[in-house]
Structure 1
Amino acid sequence: MTEPTEPPSDFEATDEPTSEKLVELAKRRGYFFQSSGSYGGVGGFYTFGPQGAALKGNVEDAWRDRFAVAEGNMEIDAPTIMPEPVFEASGHLEGFDDMLVECPDCGESHRADHVVEDNTDYEDAESLPIPDVEEVIAEYELVCPSCGTGLAGQAVEAFNLMFATNIGPGDSQPGYLRPETAQGIFVEFPRLKEYARNQLPFGVTQIGRAYRNEISPRRSIIRTREFTQAELEYFIDPEADDPDLEAVADVEVTLYPASEQNDEDGDELETTIGDAVSEGVIGDEWVAYFLGVAKPWYDAVGVDMDRFRFRQHLAGERAHYAADCWDAESEIDGNWIELAGFAYRGQYDLSKHAEHSGDRFTVFRQYDEPQTVERASVDPDMSYLGPEFGGDARAIVEELEALAGRNRSAFESGPVEIDLEGEAHEIPVEKTGFAVEEETIAGEHVIPHVVEPSFGVDRLVYTVLHHAYREDEVDGESRTHLELEPEVAPTFAGVFPLQNDADLEAQSRAIASDLREVGLSVTYDDSGNIGRRYRRQDEVGTPFCVTVDYETIEDDATTVTVRERDTTAQKRLPVADLAETLSAIRAGEREFTEL
């Protein structure tokens, strides 16, 4: 049985984990909350409120800018429901399973690997075979998380996570809600390659919903049954295409390779992308390239780099088609959660869809110079095969064609032996029309390989909020605020009149309108005292507050007070320059401290 590895780092536990405070804040301030609350709610489904939807949209836009626009990749939007043959080809119907154990007393179903991980030192029970998981449950005398009944001796079974549906009425076509956005890209490859002018490499991105019927969804939006993915499928010719590693060689990363995880004294490695590749820590250069692209992007959207790492999949957890795979992980209340996966998928996906669909999932590779090759072919004498084999004649021809392609020597002497449904047949060589001819070709059709960075948007939103959560004291009062990056903050500025005064309110609304016109997200608030309004905006993470006072409307040089969220520092800025100044700050072109 695989032994557990020790956690790479110890995090300080608290009586009140940030997650509990964050979930309460998220519900109160409109970030996210369990769906269908009026009907008792349903596990694994969450609604993003006004603040959460805006934050999520900003994160998606930032991802699109970096992984689609900046990389020159295409974006598509495929359906969330696809017919059954798609998932037969992809392997999801047979192998997309989690381990389920059912309580013999209360009947609650639980993910067996989660029961093991929550109550033992095993960090990655998901990679263990089912018999080993059953053995661990018995050895540790693990119990049902709901009622405390012992689970030893209970069967652990594979549970398929696909949501099934029917397409159309009557004898409808079976379909499934997609468990990942990737398949919508793979099945459309024959058309997408045309948009790429049949030139490798090229990438296709998609941001959209995916669905997995999780056995035990938990930890709010970290593990849900409906979630958003942002995926890039990058198609390459492995013999011709190399990444621009020089562009990311100096990116500093924290890596937790499989070798360190399997070592009793193993630990994380602090290195650079360039050194990790040269030293063989990251085996595939394309995976290394996208790790190097992702690290500064995660930093830019607000993930705490002191609580971020890339962890390599162990052999037991790596998908069978993946040559290598690394996860981006963040620390949440002492636990590491997966944010994204970076996998080299080879030609598995396109080969499977080519095999099942009969369509061509290849790209033509042009040779530098035409090549002369030998081609073996058959041109059977049907006047002989027809009378001799009757209805089996066509099948005989197909077998001869296949044999000529794989074993020319079978035609060199004596009759050619063909096995047809277990029955041997002999065909005279002269009746097969076998010939070997020279042919000049300009290239060949190849199935591209795929490199896949796959991002979980909901988990990233949660991480950004968790890592931004702060508690401090301002003017003798406790304060909770979210130090969100201006690029992703749902509201960039709050505009307030200092007091309930018609002139102040009119000027405040005019300023709010001006800021909205330049594309800034602005809220207007005239309820309660100014300190309370500041606290409300701090708690939702608004980077700046603009206060309109009597100096604004009385002075010839019209100015307003601009307050920065994190330091609470205030500056008076000209109204005429306000929109331009705040836009420059949001774009990262100016700093508030320099004003």
Structure 2
Amino acid sequence: MPSFHSTFTKSSSLSHIFTKTRLRHLTTTTTATMSTESSLRESLAAKLTTINHHGDVIRSLKSSKAPKSEIEEAVKALNALKLEKTEIENELKAAISGGSDGSNSFNGMSRDTFRQAVVNTLERRLFYVPSFKIYRGVAGLYDYGPPGCAIKSNVLSFWRQHFVLEENMLEVDCPCVTPEVVLKASGHVDKFTDLMVKDEKTGTCYRADHLLKDHCKDKLEKDLAISSEMAAELKHVLAVLDDLSAEQLGAKIKEYGIVAPDTKNPLSDPYPFNLMFATSIGPSGMSPGYMRPETAQGIFVNFKDLYYYNGNKLPFAAAQIGQAFRNEISPRQGLLRVREFTLAEIEHFVDPDDKSHPKYSEVSNLEFLMFPRDEQMSGEAAKRLCLGDAVSEGTVNNQTLAYFIGRVYLFLTHLGIDEKRLRFRQHLPNEMAHYAADCWDAEIESSYGWIECVGIADRSAYDLRAHTEKSGVALVAQEKFSEPKEVEKLVITPNKKELGLAFKGDQKLVIESLEAMNEKEAMEMKATLESKGEIEFEVCKLQKMVTIKKNMLSISKETKREHQRTFTPSVIEPSFGIGRIIYCLYEHSFYMRPDKSGDEQLNVFRFPPLVAPIKCTVFPLVQNEEYEEVANRISRSLTAAGISNKKDITGTSIGKRYARTDELGVPFAITVDSKTSVTIRERDSKDQIRVNVDEVATVVKDVSEGRTTWADILQIYPAHTSASADE
């Protein structure tokens, strides 16, 4: 899936410059990990050469009918060399997969084994399944089952609480079907693309960068005998993969001999494919539209009414939760790359001249993993930074952007995301759209690697300006002055005759780009035109540089007396991929522990009560009418308190019932073993307490809603010891 707001294609020359710069940094900077891997590859290559030589010696001894003892001694030496080779291979595999840190993150298993255990559990317990399964399914489409729906609902409920309610945001709900003109203005119709290749014989389509990525990773992980130089080159390709143009991607695919995975047929050259689902509005088919690829445009086109609703005051934020659609070329990675998904997006509108935030101090002391662009360019790792320091040093562009980065961190960690496997990565210059002031991604580590789950961008005033130009409706804000002010205003006056002669059909786009310049850009252009007579200027909508000459426009400043200032607001945009967050939460919450006998590993999801699909289960210790009535009474009291619960009155052993609920991530299990009091078991510690029947709902509600902790509860209620609690 492309980033939540695709950074549209920029000048190929600019991309090439950044690609070369990034390659140069990566080539000259060698980390300890890369050094270790290189050394192991060299040792393995030397060991293979020695083994081949010993094999030749043994064959020579046999052909010359050497004494049996001499041959046996040579074979023994060869076997010892092979053992040494295996040890080096194992060390190399560990270095490639991240060593002990990686294994600890995945319950002591390899990434693939861990992922398969998680996915098998999720599908078996109906968290989610492939859509249209009885018809063999459709790639990139999934159905959420009962526990999956409950978790998604809880995540979205907390999102509303954490952002919409606490920040007094204006929530909207806009249609999924969007007229073409809206997405034409935003740039999606022309530039919302990925590069695709086709099997030249069957016509099967593949995403070009995925094929190259898979090839490089497979060679690094499976072909342990490749040279350290080749390994370094493949790592470089992976590092700059997002920067490669269609021509560069095609060249690498040919150089490495990459063919269609299924048929081994040759592939076409890469070409752009628009990811939006096209449709038409109305029976005539004359009004083209698309299924929206994001929810943000619905907020932007409603800005004027939302601004009025907010009392014509800035700053304010609008939010929307809804479905988005992207026609992925070759979807994979389960819930991480799908064709229909849920986005939760915020557009915080702010005065471009004042991006301070009144609540910034509430997050400025937070410390967490951050990955600024300088560290990325120099080959260093992410590091813990204080958010306030990152702003004061200019690493993060402004307070409002930093405030939302901090709020996103708190949101994700409260959900249950492991803070050690959460980082905020700053976009490199070549990743950012031309209009963006700064962009950061909240990335979560999973068995698939680091996954972008939230994008937090300062998009400047681009979106509102684009829709103003296309619709003719001014999407602006006003600041009224207490007294009239003498205001110096920038005036850009294009010479349409000269521009028309020079650019013909592209004249309008060139003029739009010139008029969209901010004051700094315009005055720099003025100075260059006066000194040199011409300047190279990037027209983003044409995706190319053009030459602007002195006679093509005039740039000046005029002083006017004004009673108010009219301006286009900037927007800070946090955009959440809910499905991606939920999948990473599944992995971060999953672990295995032995049963009482130690013969079997039991699956457990350690969901916090906040997001757990069911807060508690209720079951009688034995099948007994009186106990079952008590269980029903407790269940009713829990439901009345708003606590989701599930009764289990099967005759299965208590240990197996605990295991079933642990596998669903249920935090508390209530066992009815008398008519007056019951036990409450906590999932991860397996500690049990005894509570009066009438107090059960209050205890579970207080812990589930965070008003108290389980540790506090243990101090209040008597502990209960039961052998069955360990099953």
Question: TM-score, length-normalised on structure 1?
Answer: 0.85
Aligned partner of 2:636 in structure 1 is 513
| Residue range with higher mean Cα deviation, 54-63 or 242-251 | 242-251
Q: Which is worse superposed, 128-137 or 219-228?
A: 128-137
1:537 maps to which of 638, 650, 661: 661
Distance 1:439 1:156, change over 3 A: closer
**Whole-Å separation in 1 of the counterparts to 2:604 and 2:489:** 72
| 1:143 partnered with 2:143 | no
1:276 alignment partner, one of 362, 365, 390: 390
SS at match of 1:198: coil
Kindly indicate whether the alpha-carbon contact (under 8 Å) linking 2:111 and 2:447 is maintained by their aligned counterparts in 1: no
| Conserved? CA contact 1:304–1:467, under 8 Å | yes
Alpha carbon RMSD of aligned pairs, Å?
2.3
The change in CA–CA distance for 1:124 and 1:45 in structure 2 (over 3 A counts) is: farther
Asked if residue 459 in structure 1 is aligned to residue 580 in structure 2, the reply is yes
Deviation at 1:37, TM superposition (A): 0.8
Pairs within 5 Å for 1:96-245: 96-120=192-216, 121=235, 122-123=238-239, 125-151=241-267, 154-243=268-357, 244-245=359-360
Q: Does 1:572 align with 2:690?
A: yes
Tell me what 2:155 maps to: 59
More strand by share: 1
**Secondary structure at 1:166 match in 2:** strand
Contact 1:482–1:539 (Cα < 8 Å) also in 2:
yes
CA-to-aligned-CA distance 1:17-37 (integer Å, 9 cap, x gap):
322111111111111111011
What are the equivalent positions in structure 2 for 1:378-457 lying under 5 Å apart? 440-457=561-578
After TM superposition, the structure 1 = structure 2 runs for residues 526-565 of structure 1, keeping only pairs within 5 Å, are 526-527=649-650, 528-549=652-673, 552-553=674-675, 558-565=676-683
Q: CA separation in 1, counterparts of 2:170 and 2:398? A: 23
Amino acid of the residue matched to residue 248 of structure 1? V
Q: Distance in 2 between matches of 1:583 and 1:546?
A: 13
Counterpart of 2:425? 311
241 and 259 in structure 1: CA distance in 2 versus 1, 3 angstrom threshold: closer
The change in CA–CA distance for 1:106 and 1:577 in structure 2 (over 3 A counts) is: same
Counterpart in the other structure of 2:41: none
Cα distance between partner residues in 1 of 2:485 and 2:431: 43
Q: What is the alpha-carbon distance in structure 2 between the residues aligned to residue 159 and residue 569 of structure 1?
A: 55
**1:408-442 deviation line (CA, Å, top 9, x unaligned):** xxxxxxxxxxxxxxxxxxxxxxxxxxxxx997532
**What residue number does 1:29 align with?**
125
Kept in 2: contact 1:117–1:123 (CA 8 A): no
Q: Residues 47 and 294 from structure 1, CA distance in 2 versus in 1: closer, same or farther, beyond 3 angstroms?
A: same
Q: Percent identity?
A: 39
Instruction: Say whether residues 1:253 and 2:376 are aligned partners.
Output: no
3-state SS in 2 of match to 1:452: strand
Give the C-alpha shift of residue 334 in structure 1: 5.6
* Aligned residue number for residue 421 of structure 1: none
- Contact (CA 8 Å) 2:356, 2:398: kept in 1 or not? no
1:143 positional shift: 2.9
Q: Letter of the 1:82 partner, please give it.
A: T
* Aligned position for 1:581: 699
Q: Whole-Å Cα distance in 1 between the matches of residues 149 and 140 of structure 2?
A: 17
Structure having the higher helix fraction is 2
Name the SS for the 1:346 alignment partner.
coil
Q: 1:80, 1:210 within 8 Å by CA — same for their partners in 2?
A: yes
Q: What is the distance in 2 between the residues matched to 1:22 and 1:182?
A: 33
In the alignment, the residues of structure 1 paired with residue 111 and residue 305 of structure 2 have an alpha-carbon distance, to the nearest angstrom, of 55
Aligned equivalents of 1:581 and 1:464: distance in 2? 26
User: Offset of 1:245 from its aligned partner?
Assistant: 2.6
- Structure 1's 334 and 93: CA in aligned 2 closer, same or farther, altered over 3 A? closer
Return the offset for 1:374. Answer: 9.7
SS in 1 for 2:459: strand
Q: Return the match for 1:479 from 589, 596, 602.
A: 602
TM-score, normalised to structure 2, is 0.70
Measure the CA separation in 2 of the matches of 1:373 and 1:335: 52
Does the 8 A contact of 2:355 with 2:399 survive in 1? no
- Shift of residue 146, structure 1, vs aligned partner: 2.7
8 Å CA contact 2:436, 2:458 repeated in 1:
yes
Length, aligned pairs only: 529
Q: Distance in 2 between matches of 1:124 and 1:330?
A: 20
Corresponding position of 2:456: 342
User: Contact 2:112 / 2:447 at 8 angstroms: preserved in 1?
Assistant: no
| Structure 1 ranges of 4+ moved more than 4 A | 3-9, 372-376, 437-440
Find the residue that maps to 1:255 and give its secondary structure.
Answer: strand
Deviations 1:510-562, CA, capped at 9 Å, x for gaps: 1111101000010111122221111111001000000111xx22xxxx21011
- The code of the aligned residue for 1:311 comes to R
Per the TM alignment, residue 326 of structure 1 is displaced from its structure 2 partner at its CA by: 0.8
Q: Distance in 2 between matches of 1:334 and 1:345?
A: 29
Matched residues in 1 for 2:701 and 2:375: separation? Answer: 45
Partner residue, 1:399: none
Displacement of 1:498 after TM fit? 1.3
Q: What corresponds to 2:494 in structure 1? A: none
Cα offset, 1:373, TM superposition: 6.4
Residue 88 (structure 1) aligned with residue 212 (structure 2): no
Does the CA-based 8 Å contact 1:17-1:333 persist in structure 2?
no
Residues 364 and 387, structure 2, Cα contact 8 Å, conserved in 1:
yes
Q: What are the ranges of 5 or more consecutive residues in structure 1 without an aligned counterpart?
A: 377-401, 407-436
- Give the Å deviation of 1:306: 1.2
Assess if the C-alpha contact under 8 Å between 2:127 and 2:145 holds in 1: yes
Q: Which residue of 1 aligns with 2:612?
A: 489
Cα distance in 2 between the residues matched to 1:263 and 1:374: 42
1:65-112 residue CA offsets vs partner (Å, 9 max, x unmatched) = 111111111111111111110001000000100010112244321111
- What residue is the counterpart of 1:38 in the other structure? 134
Q: Which residue of 1 is the match for residue 377 of structure 2?
A: 262
What is the identity, as a one-letter code, of the residue corresponding to 2:602?
R
1:431-468 Cα deviation digits (max 9, x unpaired): xxxxxx99753202211000000010000010111100
Q: Distance in 1 between matches of 2:486 and 2:424?
A: 47
Secondary structure at 1:52 match in 2? helix
Residue 17 of structure 1 aligns to a residue whose secondary structure is helix
Cα deviation, residue 501, structure 1? 1.4
